[in-house]
A and B are shown apart, each in its own frame.
Chain A
Amino acid sequence: MNWDAWLPVLVVASSLLPGLVIFFLREGNHRMRTLLNLTGAVLKLVLVSSMIWGVFHEHVYESRWTLAPGLELVLHADTLSVLFVTLSTVLWLVTTIYAIGYLENAPHRSRFFGFFSLCVSATVGLALAGNLFTFVIFYELLTLATYPLVAHRGTSEAVRGARIYLAYTLGGGMLLLIGTVWLYVLAGPTAFVEGGILGTLPADYHPQLKMIFLLLIVGLGVKAALVPLHGWLPQAMVAPAPVSALLHAVAVVKAGAFGIVRVVYDVYGVNFADQLGLLTGLGIAAAITIVYGSVMALFQDNLKKRLAYSTVSQVSYIALGTAILGPIGTIGGVVHLVHQGIMKITLFFTAGNYAETLGIHKVSEMNGVGRRMPATTLAFSIAALGMIGVPPVAGFVSKWYLGLGAMEAGMAVWVMPVLIASSVLNAAYFLPVLYRAWFREPGTAWPAEHIPAARFETNAALLWPPVVTAMLALATGLFAAAPYSPLEWATLIAHREYGL
């Protein structure tokens, strides 16, 4: 039994198999379901830790399976995969605990947790994909696994939101597929290799390669919520809070951004992409999205919608980092993948807490909630400050590297204003919320107090996840220079990409 070949498969299987079993569990069987969920999550964490250690020491973990002549499913663990896999695994564990608390007494829990596990399996498979073909397969599987989660509540808005989600993501998936097939016909199986493999193709392929890049980026950009492909994201807010948390922080949106990073670095190669002039276009799209998302967030009273537009804006930092030539810009973009995930999931957890405990869905209803739910609001505040870019929370580190990278690449002229404008806008739509929560007097009564104030402000399963992730956000910022921190790992990725 070759451990090196089995490890990637086991990492995917550790959530896939429990998920399949959960589908067949009786609805009332809470203990078994919780046990399966948590066992899978912890097992995955152990396997991923082993993978981190191995990849750091240049071990090769790879599994291959032939689906058709010339088309191989490849799971391969390199530095970038490990970054995303770790993020997914850690956040899945936390989200599972949160979801168990959130969905207490809700119907259809077996179906929910079944698809939840499938969703994480698809994300992890996507992260470990070793070539573009495998990536596309898991990308589509992710769409299929997340659709039932978005439609879960079963109301007509939920079904409608899910249909819009599907229309966008399947359309994007088709474009991605066309680009991949075209690339396959031109260049054979496109394995992900640090530094890219397309640079060696003859020059008369270049116009086609530019078209392919456009197709791939648009296809990926739907999930990554690049403007104007982001229309599904606010609609998908009808999903329960754990689903929104997962979708925004870990799974869908990150998958799109991760795909963009893969295509630029490991298929085209950042230097070749720059040579073709593709990075400028990507950078502009990212910049527009960053500003547009922040502006739209200003006008949203619904808390989840405000956070949704904030995601649209923040995830494009990753695309922006990809568009900045040079290792420092790369580090900024890649590390923001992790930092944004941790901060955004905190925000969604806290939004879910407000809704579940006090029936609060709108910013205007949040007056004085800091006194009633101090720990939750503290977590919210830490994450919000991180989004704005206040040190020492993690968000500051990413913005610093992006700014520095832009200056080194000579792109500071337009990148810096975008970064500054974005921070100002972030402050504009987060600080008033914090002010309301901490410094305003609460109204006569909360909209609907489902969970009364007891020893803790809300259920333990709802309270601890956001607190833990907020601590993580703080820690990844404070200890960014520590070994095995996301920043150190991103630096490793950048070095291997640029061959330093």
Chain B
Amino acid sequence: MADTPIWLVALPLAGALAALLLPRLATAAAIVTGLLTTVAAGVLLFGVATQGALHYEIGGWTAGLGIMLRADGLSTLLLLMTALVVLAASIYASTYFRKTYERARFWPLWLLLWTSLNALLLSGDLFNIYVTLELLGLSAVALASLGGKRAAVEAALRYLLVGLLGSMLFLAGVGLIYAGYGTLDLTVLARVLEPGPVAWPALALMSSGLLLKTALFPLHFWLPPAHASAPAPVSAVLSALVVKAAFYLVLRLWLDVFANVITPASANLLGLLGAGAVLWGSWQALRAERLKLLAAYSTVAQLGYLFLFFPLLLALPAGPDRDLAAGGLAMLALTHGFAKAGLFLAIGIIQQRCGHDTIRELDGTAQHLPATTFAIALAGVALVGLPPSGAFLGKWQLLAGAVDTGQWWWLVVTVAGSLLAAAYIFRVLGHAFGHRPYPNQPVTVAREEWPALLLSAMAALVLGLAGAPVWGLLEIST
């Protein structure tokens, strides 16, 4: 049980190596690895829920020189979400890639991506975060360029350059922190950081780097082309998990490590940018011609909601009200992860069946793929924030926090964003109704449609109805 954190990093890494060395068995290796890692994530969640936060020292070297893996409530929840999403997308991808050479290139990179995600979520010091961030960026870019077409390669190159820019800024910030405080360990820094000439520039540098990677408005320009041109399973993971990992780092830094340093003004800045993301992203999604572009802009908007929580969390006094809001934030992040992954997988099915994903020409397809359309509908319910999705509970906390602290403008932004989201989701669903007769079987290709359906159902139903433990788990911190 105590070893579980390292299993979460070692298993996908081993799987990646196996897929690289045995290309014929790559798919099987990947699925097996996926199942084992998901079980490990479940065991970790159980362990954290019963024993509290878990630590693991790699190689027995203690913190300072060694690498410490830490799992608390928030990171464990994200780890489980990552595992479930990647597993579902892996099952989908096993039929998506038809040619052997495609599969031989895809699986090692895919599992490497998973390794870096898990390692990032488990990192306990700034150095490890830097390394895993780079690994994540490189594998994500490589996967995004697998589409092969010109648009995909261009978007991937832009993604890479932006990512590198961000990482370099992050590293500069890390250097500053080390210069000022002599340690890189997160828990130690949380105790010793004070506002001053070291903390401020460091926070600014690290945040700029991370906000570039999280695609917060107005630094979001790279995201829509990259996510829209990538292959469907890759888009799913990029939107649902990779940007979420960068956001997780922003959350950790701002609320844990630099908690004594941040001011309400800086939190308001984040909130303002988040509001811009919600409104601009939703508006662009409404105008999008292609489904994948719609989904990508929707990601920009949904991440904006997450940033709206920052000014609220700072304005609420520490206590049950703030815990409720923090739980709402986690719930919104988790729901979006599942919903966006399900949406991209469903769009992938449509794209493969008809060769295009133009919204205006969807009529026939939406009707003879009822299960896929239902997956899109469920994901849509979760993205708009309608009950019984987890996002409804998250948005409730956002609205309640806004009313409680008297910051009514965030409420207006949330409501406007939700209505715009409803507009662009139902614009797509309107094409599901038509004159063609219903096919005899609701689910046509099981291996592709079930992952999309289950992911969307997770977001729209399971998290909303059975999500109360999330708040309890978040209380567990290192």
Contact = CB atoms under 8 A, between A and B. Distances in A.
Nearest to B434: A154
B426 interface: yes
B433 interface: yes
B433 A152 contact: yes
Interface string B449-478: 000000000000000110110110000000
B289 interface: no
Interface string A47-81: 00000000000000000011111110000000000
Contacts of A163: 426, 430
Contacts of B434: 154
B51 interface: no
A171 interface: yes
Given A158-B433, A159-B430, A171-B419, A67 B464 contact: yes
Name, among A159, A174, A181, the residue most crowded by chain B CB atoms within 10 Å (CB to CB). A181
B181 interface: no
A446 interface: no
Interface in A136-152: 136-137, 140-141, 144, 147-148, 151-152
A151 B388 contact: no
Contacts of A66: 468
Given A67-B464, A144-B386, A23 B403 contact: no
A90 B468 CA distance: 36
Interface stretch (B21-29, B127-135, B146-154, B437-445): B437-445
A460 B320 CA distance: 61
Contact of B396 (A26, A71, A144): A71
Given A68-B467, A140-B386, A185-B403, A107 B327 contact: no
Contact of B418 (A136, A147, A174): A174
Contacts of A152: 433
A65 B466 CA distance: 9
A144 B433 contact: no
A82 interface: no
A3 interface: no
Contacts of A185: 400, 403-404
Contacts of B245: none
Interface in B41-97: none
A154 B430 CA distance: 9
B465 A67 contact: yes
B99 interface: no
Contacts of A26: 440-441
A141 B400 CA distance: 21
Nearest to A137: B387
B324 A174 contact: no
Contact of A166 (B403, B422, B467): B422
Contact of B468 (A28, A67, A141): A67
Contact of A27 (B320, B381, B440): B440
A68 B471 contact: yes
A141 B464 CA distance: 13
Given A24-B442, A67-B468, A107-B438, A151 B430 contact: yes
A68 B433 contact: no
Interface string B153-164: 000000000000
Nearest to B394: A68
B192 interface: no
B393 A154 contact: no
A284 to B, nearest CB: 27
A154 B437 CA distance: 11
B86 to A, nearest CB: 27
B18 interface: no
A111 B331 CA distance: 31
A137 B426 CA distance: 19
B352 to A, nearest CB: 24
Contacts of B415: 174, 178
B399 interface: yes
A184 interface: yes
Given A154-B433, A163-B430, A68 B393 contact: yes
B288 interface: no
A181 B381 contact: no
Contacts of B392: 137
A66 B471 CA distance: 12
A108 B403 CA distance: 44
Contacts of B320: 69
Contacts of A182: 403
Given A23-B442, A140-B386, A185-B404, A178 B430 contact: no
A170 B468 CA distance: 26
Contact of A141 (B328, B388, B418): B388
Given A159-B430, A163-B426, A67 B437 contact: no
B403 A140 contact: no
B46 to A, nearest CB: 21
B399 A178 contact: yes
Contacts of A27: 437-438, 440
Given A174-B418, A182-B403, 19 more contacts: A24-B442, A26-B440, A27-B437, A27-B438, A27-B440, A67-B393, A67-B464, A68-B328, A68-B393, A68-B467, A71-B396, A108-B437, A111-B438, A137-B387, A137-B392, A140-B387, A144-B386, A174-B415, A181-B400
14 contacts: A69-B320, A69-B471, A70-B324, A71-B393, A111-B370, A136-B387, A137-B392, A141-B387, A148-B433, A154-B434, A162-B433, A163-B430, A171-B419, A181-B399
Nearest 6 pairs between A and B by C-beta?
A137-B387, A154-B433, A181-B399, A154-B434, A151-B433, A185-B403
Interface of B: 320, 323-324, 327-328, 331, 370, 381, 386-388, 392-393, 396-397, 399-400, 403-404, 411, 415, 418-419, 422, 426, 430, 433-435, 437-438, 440-442, 464-465, 467-468, 470-471
